[in-house]
Amino acid sequence: MLVLSVVSLRFAKNNKDNRAAVHDLGLASASLSVEATSRGLSVHQMIGILPDNARAVYQIPEHYETWTAMAIGYKADPALMPDDLKTRDLAPRQRKPLKDFVFANQWGKASPLVTKT
């Protein structure tokens, strides 16, 4: 399944700007990913999409923005994948160390919560 994630940039109740829209989309996407994974599905989130095309094809109204997309499905046999995608998918995942983005007191200063061992 290919899902387009669309945010409303205005609150329905008062039509004011909704600065939390993208934050909420992230939360919803994370919740969906956890639930899908617990059901044996895989989720691949993508921002490399063409929002203007999505608006035209699906007639998405003004004040709504297509922000991201997700492919949701069952993992295929890696042998069926093109070599570049196979290499990427089978590579060990690398995550930034927490000290690089969990700060305390000043931007860029690692929090003792993540530097103590």
Ligand X SMILES: Cc1cc2nc3c(=O)[nH]c(=O)nc-3n(C[C@H](O)[C@H](O)[C@H](O)COP(=O)(O)O)c2cc1C
Q: Which residues, 6+ apart, have CB-to-CB distance to 17 below 8 Å?
A: 9, 10, 11
Locate the DSSP E strands across the chain.
2-8, 42-46, 64-73
Task: Report the side by side order of strands in the sheet with 42-46.
Answer: 2-8, 64-73, 42-46
Smallest distance, Å, CB 114 to ligand X? Answer: 21
Residue choice 15, 39, 40, 47 for contact with ligand X (CB under 6 A): 47
Q: Which residue is nearest to ligand X (CB)?
A: 48
Residues in the chain: 117
* Residue closer to ligand X (CB basis): 48 or 61: 48
Enumerate residues 67-96 that contact ligand X by CB under 6 A: 68, 93
Q: Is 45 in the site for ligand X (CB under 6 A)?
A: yes
Q: Is 98 in the site for ligand X (CB under 6 A)?
A: no
Contacting residues toward ligand X, per CB under 6 A: 44-48, 68, 93
